[in-house]
Structure 1
Amino acid sequence: MAQSVEKFLSLKNRLEKVYRHLSKGARRQGISCYRIYDHDLPEAPFIVEVYEDKLYVSEYKRRHNLGDEEHEEWLAECLRIMSEVTGIAPQNIYTKLRQRKEGRGGQYQKVAEDKNEFVVSEGGLKFIVNLSDYLDTGLFLDHRITRQMVREQSSGKRVLNLFCYTGSFSVYAAAGGASEVVSVDLSKTYLAWVEKNMALNFPGEKKHKVIHADVLQYLKELPAGSFDLIVMDPPTFSNSKRMEDILDIQRDHVSLVNDCLKALTQNGLLYFSTNYTKFILEKDKIHSSQIKDITRQTTPFDFAGKLKRQCFQITK
């Protein structure tokens, strides 16, 4: 038990240190949703995020050599420590067990039916998050800065959001004064979520539309010069039965990016992001002379040193 006590003490000390530092940065920037812990200690493999007055705790599945009861006791003590450090009540802590795998390929997988939806704010905008029912919460916190960049670039532009998930980029584009916003995804569940997020921020807005489609096929059929700005944050891998083909981002990114560039107007912008940690951009095959790696520039304070994605701004 002495070793266990030591491990709990390590977790408490680590959480106190990072929470003190990160909560101060969040307050200073007026941010209410942020990550405080990401597998900092091998013996405590969690992601821990603050969503205003709630805490999202995602435990990575692993071989821990504990029986079910022992694991429950261990988890309960970890959660008690998190509650004590953050001051967030135990009933406002949402836990989830996740498989360790690359990227956001499983983002459409439902894991529960609790319907724990509530609204949070970011950048003066509102977003519906769900901390219990899906593999992810509905708001990727690592793209906070990228969303703001899109907002600043959207005035008077026709904006396309591909693999749009819950449409946070679409909301930011609309807030930036886009003349048209189109959100494309293969999941009807998430497209409905996009529409709810839009209605929450812009009741009666007519400049936004959702399209239920396989992005790979949709891009092939899109007329040249249809959009001024495109956002594309695809899963690393997808073999959805609803797709005509399998998506492998390393293999397919060149054709995806080039199809986006074809769909853009001259000097149009593509924001392309991937969570594949071994990703290598094949610049020489991409039809653009202006490719900027903006990964560092778009890394928020709560992801410094731990960001597992790359982000590029590509100009036609």
Structure 2
Amino acid sequence: MLGERLANRMRHLSKWGRKQDISCFRLYERDVPEYPAIVDWYADEHAADPTREGDAIVWLFTRKKDDTLEKAVEHRRDAEAEILAGLDITRERMHVKHRGRQSSGDGDRAQYERVDTRANTKIVREHGLRFEVNLSDYLDVGLFLDHRPTRKSVQDRAGGKRVLNLFAYTGAFSVHARAGGAAATTTVDMSRTYLEWYERNLALNGHVIDADHRLIQADCLQWLAAGPKDDTDRYDTIICDPPTFSNSKRMKAGSFSIDRDHPGLIRDLARFTAPKGEVFFSTNSRSFEMSPDAVPGNFGCREISNRSVPEDFRNKRIHRCWRLAEGWERRR
């Protein structure tokens, strides 16, 4: 059942991927209730046959809360066998991930912590651009597939603009902005590891860091709170995809909750927005509700989630995304 579903999805999405010039996509997302799993596919950019020369990233979830340990193990083995058969791959090309609750309570930070050291990397394509993914060492591989449409939108409108990418991770939004002809980019993240990864992504696409295209290692919340230094710190496009919750010891504020703290965050973003500038603000919080007081009076706000989640994602609530713009009519 699961194997057949994966084979059918692969036939469809491989054709779709070639048309979109992408080599990584979501194959399966709890489609069959009997198999609660997520399967993402990453094919190398030069794969002669992307349907056979790729790797599967797999998340397996508990089928029934009252399953015994023996039944859970049996079901897991069955699911893994179905995936291997359906995709016709060896076990070495199936990477099963486990997301456990961290003792720190920092659920989002866990995705960035190293869990292996094999450095199983490959280069994938997204709309003609090249990105490094690491299939083995972290819970997430370095490219959030659900933000693909928003990255393309940023690229398409970046020409001649100043772009700020916050909580930048491996900098994919900045790479798209550079490809779209951005006049300047500023890329901010707390992790040196991921900023170095961003530099490698830039190099893969023929770009380097220079005076107009900066990277900054900083706590984004603290950096925003300090305010813009001058007009060069005001941006035509801002991308902000903050963690749902964080209590990293490196954060000056101690803890951050997007549900609780987004009004202050959005007010800080507004200070960095140029006249007639725009902000793409997104969150993965399932309980998030935009506060009526969060959006400054001179900004409009429209939810664009119906356009920001890609076709290959069955879960259309994987994230929510808003476009805020200075000078727009106020509308939510």
Interval of TM-score (by shorter of Structure 1 and Structure 2): 0.7 to 0.9
What secondary structure does 2:98 align onto? strand
Q: Is the 8 A contact 1:147 1:172 kept in 2?
A: yes
What secondary structure does 1:121 align onto? strand
Question: Which sits farther off after the overlay, 274-283 or 74-83?
Answer: 74-83
Which residue is equivalent to 1:5?
none
> Does residue 1:136 correspond to 2:140, yes or no?
yes
Distance across 2 between alignment mates of 1:129 and 1:66: 33
Distance across 2 between alignment mates of 1:95 and 1:300: 23
Q: Is the 8 A contact 1:103 1:274 kept in 2?
A: no
Which residue is equivalent to 2:286?
277
> Does residue 1:174 correspond to 2:185, yes or no?
no
Measured after TM superposition, the shift of residue 253 of structure 1 is: 0.8
Which residue is equivalent to 1:7?
none
Q: Compared with structure 1, are the counterparts of its residues 243 and 20 closer, same or farther at alpha carbon in structure 2 (3 Å cutoff)?
A: same
% identity of equivalent residues? 42
Which residue is equivalent to 2:51?
none
Deviations 1:136-188 (A, max 9, x none): 11000001110011111211111111000111001001111111111111111
Any stretches of 5+ residues in structure 2 without a counterpart?
44-53, 327-332
Distance across 2 between alignment mates of 1:232 and 1:210: 15
Q: Compared with structure 1, are the counterparts of its residues 190 and 171 closer, same or farther at alpha carbon in structure 2 (3 Å cutoff)?
A: same
Question: 1:47-196 counterparts in 2 under 5 A?
Answer: 47-52=38-43, 53-60=54-61, 64-67=67-70, 71=73, 74-99=75-100, 104-196=108-200
Distance across 2 between alignment mates of 1:144 and 1:243: 28
Q: Which has more helix, going by share of residues?
A: 1
Counterpart pick for 1:309 among 311, 319, 322:
319
Distance across 2 between alignment mates of 1:283 and 1:240: 28
What secondary structure does 1:106 align onto? helix
Distance across 2 between alignment mates of 1:95 and 1:125: 26
TM-score, L = length of structure 2:
0.84
Deviations 1:259-304 (A, max 9, x none): 1111111011111000001111114431144212110111211114
Deviations 1:107-157 (A, max 9, x none): 322221111111111111111101111111100000111001111121111
What secondary structure does 1:300 align onto? coil
Distance across 1 between alignment mates of 2:30 and 2:101: 12
Distance across 2 between alignment mates of 1:120 and 1:19: 17
Which residue is equivalent to 1:32?
23
Q: Is the 8 A contact 2:143 2:172 kept in 1?
A: yes
Q: Cα RMSD over matched residues?
A: 2.4
Distance across 1 between alignment mates of 2:134 and 2:121: 5
Which residue is equivalent to 2:309?
299
Any stretches of 5+ residues in structure 1 without a counterpart?
1-9
Which residue is equivalent to 1:234?
242
> Does residue 1:250 correspond to 2:259, yes or no?
yes
Distance across 2 between alignment mates of 1:200 and 1:31: 15
> Which AA in structure 2 matches 1:314?
L
Distance across 1 between alignment mates of 2:11 and 2:144: 22
Question: Which sits farther off after the overlay, 126-135 or 74-83?
Answer: 74-83
